[in-house]
Structure 1
Amino acid sequence: MRNDAARVVALSLALAGPAGAEAPLSAIDWLSRSVDRAAPRVTDEPRVTDDATPEEIAVRPLDAPDPDAVGLIPAAASGLPRLLWGPTPADEAARLLRAARVDTLPAMQALLVALLLAEIDPPADSTGDGQVLTARLDKLLDLGAVDEAQALVERAGPTASPALFRRWFDISLLTGHEDRACAAMRATPDIAPTFPARIFCLARGGDWMAAALTLGTGRALGFITAEEDALLARFLDPELFEGEPPLPLPARPSPLVFRMREAIGEPLPIATLPRAFARADLRATAGWKTRIEAAERLARTGALAPNVLLGVYTERLPAASGGLWDRVAAVQALDVALLAGDAGAVASALPEAWAAMTRAELEVPFAALYGMRLARVPLSGEAARLARTVGLLSPDYAIIAAGAGTPPFLAAIARGAAPADAPQDALAQAVRAGFADPPPRQGLGPALTQQLSDGRTAEAILAAVDLITDGAHGDVADITQGLALLRLLGLEDDARQAALQLMLLERPG
């Protein structure tokens, strides 16, 4: 059957006409055009109907849950109120979520993820079309939180709409669960797959003849571009193209293109692709160096648990030196020293491990792994100072700060108190002002004050993230407003962690 399919592919290559142009993609511009609504038939003839019913009606059971309310974290556990959006319109909520920045402090990344995953009430004007949910999924993918996005869309029901299915299909391609997505595509009549997605799924199901025939039909109808056709033909039978030069690199590869390029032995370099693609390099089939690079990239935005990063680091002993391998060796040396309970070895290994993780901008995942463990080791001098810094960047910062040797300024921040004395630099003074008691409303400006008064909590949280992000990149006046805003919203822990990171991380943002 595979040889028959090859002949059909060869014939279609010889006879097919010019391919049609692909329209620009919406939402995240690298999503596959895996599904599409049928285009209306264009005709010059007058259209007559005996029915005044509108052509498209959105139907949803009265008791069906609003997809915008779906979450993975109960509101009580997230620390966020259920009425998070207040009077914010759904379309504005979606716009704000897509505009949220991910190039920010780890504490603000974690707060953003909590907002995206929380089980909260939808905007008051939500129509049940899931536009806020799709914006949440898009931002999770921007962060690289592919597994969380998959769990969220599956809880909402990935076949509920083409927009949700489109995201689920691509997420499944990145996580290696494409067979489930293909099965759902076949079982759901309302999902209209595009020709490339249909061909891919037919081939994955072993129906090579049908896949090849569909390729020929798609080309004849102008529904497949020349670039798609070249890739699909090689995907269906790469043996036909042995000795041919590799395909040119695509300008905007989708997960579907990514997986097919991988299948034909022409993988794309993931380092240049959006962060979500790094999830595909965590598979056991990837090389160790590739898996380390992917794990580090995801850990920088909090999309990978620190324990998973450590698991990748400690899979085996590095067989080389320099760069990434020196970092892995340094972390392994510290980990072994801590497991052995050897204070001298810990004191010797800690400076190198901390310097390596600082250069990689992985200080906070490192602190989550080792902050409390280091606090239990009797250290002195520079090693004790480094251990305290690591502890203050960990989730156990309050316990660490209560110990001896913590600078009074940092200890006050960890308690959420305004430091009595602060260094004279602008950053420390801005942080100190943000912890005034009670949190200062003055200086927030009329827009932020109105958000608080209206109960537009989610808008205010996103504004605080922006302010602190701008402050971390140099505009320190925004830091005071951002910290004060978080504290006025009751997000005290987030404010404290952000302030400690501002003071301790040796990098902007």
Structure 2
Amino acid sequence: MPGRLWSLALLLAGEAALAQASAQVVTAALPEPDSGVAQEVVEVHPEEALLGDRIIVTALPTLDPDRVGLAQPAALGLPDALWSRSSAAMLSALLETVPQPTEAATMALLRDALSVGDTPPDDSDQARDLFLARVDTLVRLGDLSTASALLKTAGLESPELFMRWANIALMTGRENAACQRIGTLPPSTSIYPARVFCHARQGDWPAAVITLETGVILGEITPAQRELMLRFLDEEHDGLTLPPPRVPTPFEFVIYEALGEPLRTAALPIAFAHADLREIEAMSARIAAAERLARHGAIPPERLMKLYLTDLPASGETAPPTAEAVQQLEKALDTGDLETIETALQNAATVMGETGLLPFLAESYGAAVAALGLETSEARQLDALATGIDLPPLPAPSPRDAALIADGRPGEALLRAVTDLTVSEDADTEARALSTLMALGLENRARRIYAERTLLP
């Protein structure tokens, strides 16, 4: 880059730092809020607070992210004080290793536990570590909707929170929303790759180049990212071929797409499957992505069913067998003819069972089928998956889980039970994990998990 641009980049970086220093908010410490409900933030800047020879110090309502949630535990049938007696550092480390649940009911339990607002551990100290671990786990498991809702509830003022929200926006095709939000942040906010992308997307190429080189100087953009962004920004780099990263960042993902070299989401972590749900994708790709996400409990059943029931565009696409089976069942239910419904239900249960999607058929149609009083094996199976089945006699929870429950650490016991249910191949360990859920008062959850483990291939 010419010397004057390097100088200008350094100058802009210095001006940004000065602007941040001159706009510090004068605040007084507040007691922690009683709930995870966001409060209005009122900023008072130094130049506005000088009245005569007095400085008015105005409290800035803050929200401890570790308290943030979308519901209280009791509203979802979970124990109170899930995390308060545990260590935030330990919980964060434990969440990093929680595996992807193999049953939709287990994933639903884990998602609900991560989404509730509750009293944080004593050692959280508003460091946000537990909150960030909750969000990162939801993203890793593919549940971008819940993760995004948590971030917006906590507020997007800090770079750590904003970048996570922006990454989700990029993976779900909402680049415009991410770039609009970036424009409201202070210039000094350390999100250089995002700023480069958004400047270029808005057609401000000089600003994109200056921001790119500033980010490199400050160590915020890696050499590999610089080369990729130069391909995006500079026609002279069009012929340069760069091997795609094994696990791209969301910004790298959208830049490769902008270069006409889209990365296959099937080979990427499950969160990237959301990119194939965009309306610009072929319906077959959207359904395949939705089925992948649904099998992991990362989207609600109604989103998958909505795609199944969407008319295909007049482009020669054919509906996959799963979509055809659900459409036939929907039409049969409209007729009210029991024989027609039984035939369609048998076909839908077979097709959805072969693809690991039977729990979602049960969630969507179990109640309607049960109301008809059908006595077929398929009807009984859907009802069992939707409501759960009786548990056999279970051993006591493991000594580890029993000790955690006795010590008032139910969230930790829940996470360890979910891990045992997901990775263990030992029947006794699985039974003890179900017993742990029972001891936590989660009988209905345990019944549904047991139904999926028992009735599905």
The TM-score bracket by the shorter chain reads 0.7 to 0.9
Displacement of 1:222 in angstroms is: 7.5
Partner of 1:92: 90
Aligned to 1:354: 349
Match of residue 368, structure 1, among 333, 355, 363:
363
- Say whether residues 1:454 and 2:446 are aligned partners: no
Q: CA–CA distance in 2 between the matches of 1:65 and 1:228?
A: 34
Cα distance in 2, alignment partners of residues 462 and 224 from structure 1: 36
Q: Which moved more, 1:67-76 or 1:176-185?
A: 176-185
Pick the aligned partner of 2:120 from 94, 119, 122: 122
C-alpha distance in 2 between matches for 1:489 and 1:223:
45
**Is the alpha carbon distance of 1:154 and 1:505 closer, same or farther for their aligned partners in structure 2, counting shifts above 3 Å?**
same
- Indicate conservation of the 8 Å contact 2:151/2:165, yes or no: yes
- In 2, the alpha carbon distance for the partners of 1:222 and 1:300 equals 40
Measured in 2, the distance between the counterparts of 1:204 and 1:392 equals: 50
Within 1, Cα distance between the matches of 2:222 and 2:69? Answer: 38
Amino acid at match of 2:63: P
2:157 is aligned to: 159
Counterpart position of 2:19: none
Name the residue aligned to 1:182: 179
1:209 maps to a residue whose letter is P
Matching residue of 1:388: 380
Aligned equivalent of 1:83: 81
Structure 1 match to 2:256: 261
Where do residues 397-436 of structure 1 align in structure 2 (5 Å cutoff)? Answer: 397=388, 410=389, 413=390, 431-434=391-394
Q: Relative to 1, partners in 2 of residues 1:103 and 1:344: Cα closer, same or farther, differing over 3 Å?
A: same
Task: Tell me which amino acid in the other structure corresponds to 2:184.
Answer: A
Cα gap change, 1:223 to 1:159, in 2 (>3 Å): closer
Give the corresponding residue for 1:294. Answer: 289
- Tell me what 2:48 maps to: none
Q: What residue in structure 1 maps to residue 439 of structure 2?
A: 488
For 1:149, the equivalent position in structure 2 comes to 147
Q: Which whole-Å CA distance do the structure 2 matches of 1:200 and 1:263 have between them?
A: 10
Question: Do the aligned partners of 2:103 and 2:297 also contact (CA within 8 Å) in 1?
Answer: no
Determine the C-alpha separation between the residues in 2 that align with 1:136 and 1:221: 29
Q: Deviations over 1:92-134 (max 9, x none)?
A: 1111222222233222111101100111111122100110000
How far off is 1:145 after superposition?
0.9
Unaligned runs of 5+ in 2: 7-15, 17-26, 33-61
Which residue does the alignment assign to 1:341? 336
Shift of 1:282: 1.3
Number of positions where the alignment pairs a residue of Structure 1 with one of Structure 2: 405
Q: Which residue among 450, 453, 456 is the counterpart of 1:502?
A: 453
Amino acid at match of 1:296: E
Q: What secondary structure does 1:334 align onto?
A: helix
Q: Distance in 2 between matches of 1:221 and 1:97?
A: 31
State the Cα deviation string for residues 264-296 of structure 1 (Å, max 9, x = none).
221110111111111122111111111111111
SS in 1 for 2:260: coil
* Aligned CA distance change for structure 1 residues 375 and 82 (closer, same or farther; 3 Å): closer
1:218 and 1:500, CA in 2 relative to 1: closer, same or farther beyond 3 A? closer
d(CA) in 2 for partners of 1:109 and 1:299? 10
CA–CA separation in structure 2 for the residues paired with 1:223 and 1:487:
48
Q: Is the 8 A contact 2:85 2:122 kept in 1?
A: yes
TM-score (norm 2): 0.81
Alignment of 1:231-310 (within 5 A): 231-236=228-233, 244=239, 247-310=242-305
Of 407, 417, 428, the residue aligned with 1:464 is 417
Amino acid at match of 2:86: T
The answer to whether the 8 A contact 1:317-1:329 is kept is no
The change in CA–CA distance for 1:490 and 1:224 in structure 2 (over 3 A counts) is closer
SS at structure 1 position matched to 2:392: helix
SS of 1:87's equivalent? coil
1:213 to 204, 210, 221: 210
Residues 86 and 457 in structure 1, CA contact (< 8 A), matched pair in contact too: no
Which residue of structure 2 lines up, in the alignment, with residue 326 of structure 1? 321
Residue in 1 that maps onto 2:195: 198
1:11-30 residue pairs with structure 2 within 5 A?
A: none
Q: Deviations over 1:453-504 (max 9, x none)?
A: 1101101111222233345xx3111132112211111111111111222221
SS at match of 1:302: coil
Alpha-carbon distance in 2 for matches of 1:219, 1:119: 38
Q: Which whole-Å CA distance do the structure 2 matches of 1:462 and 1:218 have between them?
A: 39
Q: Which moved more, 1:341-350 or 1:251-260?
A: 341-350
* C-alpha distance 259-76 of structure 1, shift in aligned 2 (>3 A): same
RMSD: 2.8
**Matched-pair contact (CA < 8 Å) for 1:101–1:466:** yes
TM-score normalised per structure 1 = 0.73
Q: Distance in 2 between the 1:256 and 1:214 partners?
A: 15
Query: Which of 99, 102, 105 is equivalent to 1:104?
Result: 102
Change (3 A) 1:352 1:184: same
CA distance in 2, matches of 1:168, 1:310: 27
Aligned residue identity for 1:388: R
- When residues 455 and 317 of structure 1 are mapped into structure 2, their CA distance, relative to the original with a 3 A threshold, is same
Pair 224,338 (structure 1): closer, same or farther in 2 beyond 3 Å: same
Distance 1:204 1:193 in 2: 19
Which segments of 5 or more consecutive residues in structure 1 lack a partner in the other structure? 1-10, 17-37, 39-57, 398-409, 414-430, 435-439
